[in-house]
Chain A
């Protein structure tokens, strides 16, 4: 079976650091994506991890551990515009499709 878990909601303060976790169980794993989705807008691509380790891209970093079925998205120097839903998605080779978690709604407060 395929299962992806991430927290439903998180809150943080402007300027802080927040880590959004994602755990997954899937057969034929081949890559994990993070997408950002502002209310009423399309999801936009943030990062892709296929090998273990940390990928850094500006204020955003994403980490993957394939042996643990675990990933996190790290957001530094939070800004109000980072208030959005963050979607974790796993690419399953055998079914050749992206499987999404339910998303984590992040609210950033001043």
Chain B
């Protein structure tokens, strides 16, 4: 059974550009969550998608957006990139939402903004 796949693994962008990251969850998993990981802040929750709908959103500016497709694959987009957006972006998939649901993480996309 394939794990969570994130593409690309590494990305370098310049300030002001936009970027799209992709996440393919484990087959059969319908919940996909996105996190930003930086050395000082740890994992910060960005948003969660379930059945193609955003169910939950963290405290990030509107430049961060996402979507989920009918096959549960998800994309996140960051527009007007800033230096502070440099981070590891992790996607996690779960079978269902809610209690005691183990989240499986992808390897992440390391974004560097220069």
Contacts and interface: CB of A to CB of B under 8 A. Distances in A.
Interface of A: 30-31, 33, 35, 41-45, 48, 50, 87, 89, 91, 93, 95-103
Contacts of A93: 99
| Pairs A-B, 8 closest by C-beta atoms | A102-B42, A100-B43, A42-B105, A43-B105, A42-B107, A45-B102, A97-B56, A31-B100
A49 B100 CA distance: 9
A71 to B, nearest CB: 15
A84 B99 CA distance: 27
Nearest to B106: A42
A96 B42 contact: no
Interface residues of B, number: 26
A97 B43 contact: no
Contacts of B67: none
A42 B109 CA distance: 10
Contact of B104 (A45, A96, A97): A45
B13 interface: no
Contacts of A98: 33, 45, 92, 103
Contacts of B42: 87, 100-103
Nearest to A99: B45
Given A87-B42, A98-B45, A100-B42, A45 B103 contact: yes
Max chain A C-beta neighbours (<10 A), residue from B56, B103, B104 = B103
